[in-house]
Amino acid sequence: MMRLLLAVTAALLVNTGWAADNPHAAQGQPLRGEVLETKEVPPYTYLRLKTKDGEVWAAVNKAPLKKGAQVTIENTMVMSNFESKALKKTFDRIVFGTLAGTGPAAAGAAPGHMGGGTSKAVDIGDVAVPKAQGPDARTVAEVYAKRAELKDKPVLIRGKVVKVVSAVMGKNWLHLRDGTGSAKDNTNDLLVTTKEQAAPGSIVVAKGVVRTDVDLGSGYAYKVLVEEAALQK
């Protein structure tokens, strides 16, 4: 679900709020520019932008943008010394945000771990949720165990929402558990991204696409997650 994030590659002028020595001054300010280059690292698109104050790298949810396009990135968040393992590069500054007109605002980094969005969790207790029905139905443990063969394929998961991180990178991040898997190797908790809302503690059926080895940078990597999920409550 979530690899293309943003990096600032040039120092920006102080009077604009994007100065390299003041990374927090630009928080939330729109970033506008012309696309000079794109890099696809699913599920994100990195953009090298030409702005009135210099060149800036930015990352948004995957978008079909071409060189020369004019874009506006909203609800921005600036980070320093951001490492993207997928791109094998550490950026002095990185800007996270959402492409204008593409959905809910996001101003965060790795969901559930770093700043941005709203996080809610519930007392988990014992979880025992029946497996969903249908040819694509899988348990949480099965998604982990069969992640190689399920890569980029649809799955149907029924689980209890034990944590929600809302409005990060234009989507909501749900942690689902169904009682399968092991806490020792973290195969009992499946991360699901969706644009829909779900309350912590609720039981949902999520249908989405399996992504594997997703690297969000800064040490936040996932063996498997389910993206673009539609929810049945």
Query: pLDDT digits over 140-151, tens only?
Result: 999 999 999 999
CATH 2.40.50.140 holds for 119-232: yes
The values of phi and psi at residue 97, to 5°, are 180, -175
* Distance of alpha carbon 233 from alpha carbon 223, whole angstroms: 26
User: What are the residue boundaries of the structural domains of the chain, listed by start?
Assistant: 14-107, 119-232
Cα dist from 45 to 60, 101, 160, whole Å: 6, 16, 31
Q: What is the DSSP letter of 142?
A: H
Residue 27, amino acid = Q
Three-state SS at 110: coil
Half-sphere exposure of 100 (CA within 13 A, CB side): 12
Residue 212: CB partners within 8 Å, gap ≥ 6?
A: 147, 148, 151, 223, 224
Three-state SS at 125: coil
Three-state SS at 70: strand
Which fold does the domain 14-107 belong to in CATH?
Answer: OB fold (Dihydrolipoamide Acetyltransferase, E2P) (2.40.50)
Q: Looking at residue 27, what is its pLDDT? A: 52
- Residue whose token pair is 């600032």: 8
Q: Looking at residue 103, what is its pLDDT? A: 43
Residues with pLDDT less than 70, the chain: 1-28, 43, 75-82, 91, 94, 96, 101-125, 216-220, 233
Burial class of 206 by CB neighbour count within 10 A (0 to 12, 13 to 18, 19+): buried
The values of phi and psi at residue 197, to 5°, are -100, 145
Q: Looking at residue 61, what is its pLDDT? A: 74
pTM above 0.75, yes or no: no
Q: What percent of the chain has pLDDT over 90?
A: 35
By C-alpha distance, which of 155, 182, 218, 161 is closest to 6? 218
Burial class of 54 by CB neighbour count within 10 A (0 to 12, 13 to 18, 19+): middle
Intrachain domains 14-107 and 119-232 with the same fold: yes
Q: Looking at residue 219, what is its pLDDT? A: 52
